[in-house]
Amino acid sequence: GENVEQHPSTLSVQEGDSAVIKCTYSDSASNYFPWYKQELGKRPQLIIDIRSNVGEKKDQRIAVTLNKTAKHFSLHITETQPEDSAVYFCAASILGGGGNKLTFGTGTQLKVEL
Amino acid sequence: ETGVTQTPRHLVMGMTNKKSLKCEQHLGHNAMYWYKQSAKKPLELMFVYSLEERVENNSVPSRFSPECPNSSHLFLHLHTLQPEDSALYLCASSQVAQGGTEAFFGQGTRLTVV
């Protein structure tokens, strides 16, 4: 089955700096790569996703890049703000008739310091 | 109410008890999922129902029994649990369509087995 590895497990940055979180996956058939943000005591919420037919996607301060050959994908947050502090999870799945069965990474605790 | 709602939010049960977790989605989706979130571990997919049919059972012990009576409701029946089953149980839903859609999560049920 799919295996997703995520690094780093913790990341501390100064407000205004950029943050980068990296993931690798093992199943070359995976075609959907979402990123979820989970604040303490709250549900995971999708912040951005990318499909395998695209190499990069951007939404304001957040961007995701995908390298299918190397089976790497990364989350980039620019101009970080204190409200970006949370746990971020990457995931991979094969979208199809059997549903969106996500395999998650272990999470990155991001702390944005003033 | 919109989105994915789970009840109860918190549950404490003894190892000999029987209880059920409930999930309801108001998004018109046709796939629903149970995930387990334990400390220091990635979210683990437990069960998937697509078009009301169970399509995944990730080697979950039989003391966890899912039920999906219709596309909007999902239950997780619990009996004779172990202390290591204490975790946050998250329900999610998505649309199984051309290409599929993102998974939306509920707030979760924090389960403590004593």
Q: Tens of pLDDT along B68-94?
A: 999 999 999 999 999 999 999 999 999
- The 3-state DSSP class for residue A52 equals coil
Question: pLDDT grade, residue A1 (50/70/90)?
Answer: confident
How many helices and strands (H and E) does chain B possess? 0, 11
* Alpha-carbon distance B79 to nearest alpha carbon in chain A (angstroms): 25
pLDDT at B1 over 60: no
Residue pointed to by tokens 């629903």? B32
pLDDT at A36 over 60: yes
Do A32 and A13 contact (CB within 8 A), yes or no? no
Residue pointed to by tokens 């395999």? A103
Do A66 and A58 contact (CB within 8 A), yes or no? no
Contacts of A46 in chain B (CB under 8 A): 102-104
Residues in chain A: 114
Q: Which of A45, A91, A96 sits opposite B100 (nearest CB)?
A: A96
A4 — contact with chain B (CB < 8 Å)? yes
Contacts of A43 in chain B (CB under 8 A): 4, 90, 105-108
Are B94 and A99 in contact (CB < 8 Å)? yes
Do A105 and B59 contact (CB within 8 A), yes or no? no
Do B90 and B106 contact (CB within 8 A), yes or no? yes
CA angle (A41 as vertex; B110, A66 as ends), nearest 5: 110
pLDDT at B84: 93
* Alpha-carbon distance A63 to nearest alpha carbon in chain B (angstroms): 17
A32 — contact with chain B (CB < 8 Å)? yes
Termini Cα distance of chain B: 33
What are A67-104's pLDDT values in tens digits?
A: 999 999 999 999 999 999 999 999 999 887 677 889 99
Count the alpha carbons within 13 Å of A62 in the hemisphere toward its beta carbon.
Answer: 15
What are A66-77's pLDDT values in tens digits?
A: 999 999 999 999
